[in-house]
Amino acid sequence: MIFGEPERTEWDLRFPLFGIPVRVHPLFWVMGVLLGMNRADPILLIVWIAAVFPAILIHELGHALVMRSFGFYPSIVLYGMGGLASYGPGRLYRAREPGTFGHVAIALAGPGAGFALAGLLYGALRAAGYPVDVWVDPFVLVHVRLAGGELAGSWHLAVLVNDLFFVCIYWGIINLLPIYPLDGGQIAQRILVLANPRGGVRLSLVISMVTAGVVAVVGVVQLGDWWTGLFFVYLAANSYAMLKWDRGEWQD
């Protein structure tokens, strides 16, 4: 997701990953805790954070690796709104402009990396003899869950696996919705601008606003998830504000 990189702090966690600099802002941990506050057991809250951190990192790493394949020097920031992979003006040897479909590939690489991680995890569990349940419903779309309740004799380890599946698959699918600035919103905007250079941006923002509103209603009414509802109301309002700006209607 792209909301702008947060300011650097002395509490940032910094480390390289495959030569790509990674910075974890303190608000990333705060938001992770808030999203897991429905868990009464403190250990389950830690398990949730332990799943969210690598899943979002892998998502952003997918974006960053494709950016680097075009010759750019990417960096990753994990913060309160999720994650951000970006590249600055500096370029590596033989850098080239990604173009429309290059940018689409960059956007798809994030959810794709999460799906790949879920697929590897699924294959490893099945190869080890652990049953894994997969099912679909009209609202959450895809569920993958380790059956049997325990993994290697540990219930908490099984919860960790379930959480990894949830973040990699469910959040990956949500990220592909045509809502700006999620990956799907960026893909929709690039394709619509290619098809209609004059009106593509406005059309993508209208689609983003309507889709975010529908998801907010489904999140609250069907799933009882107020966090989801509030988040997508914010995204709908953000798309509306951008639409007004694009039309020249914005006033301070």
Map the chain to HEC letters: CCCCCCCCCCCCEEEEECCEEEEECHHHHHHHHHHCCCCCCHHHHHHHHHHHHHHHHHHHHHHHHHHHHCCEEEEEEEECCEEEEEEEEEECCCCCCCHHHHHHHHHHHHHHHHHHHHHHHHHHHHHCCCCEEEEEECCCEEEEEECCCCECCEHHHHHHHHHHHHHHHHHHHHHCCCCCCCHHHHHHHHHHHHHCCCCHHHHHHHHHHHHHHHHHHHHHHHCCCHHHHHHHHHHHHHHHHHHHHHCCCCCC
In a domain, 218, yes or no: yes
In a domain, 228, yes or no: yes
In a domain, 47, yes or no: no
In a domain, 242, yes or no: yes
Question: Is the per-residue pLDDT at 249 higher than 50?
Answer: no
Confidence (pLDDT) at 251: 42
pTM, full prediction? 0.89
Give tens-digit pLDDT for 120-161.
Answer: 999 999 898 888 887 766 655 566 777 767 787 788 888 899
How much of the chain exceeds pLDDT 70, in percent? 88
In a domain, 24, yes or no: no
In a domain, 35, yes or no: no
How many domains in the chain? 1
Give tens-digit pLDDT for 69-105.
Answer: 888 889 999 998 889 999 876 555 566 678 899 999 9
Residue 16 φ then ψ, to 5°: -90, 150
| Residue range(s) defining the domain that contains residue 197 | 178-252
Confidence (pLDDT) at 224: 75
Q: How far apart are CA 223 and CA 61, in angstroms?
A: 30
In a domain, 234, yes or no: yes
In a domain, 124, yes or no: no
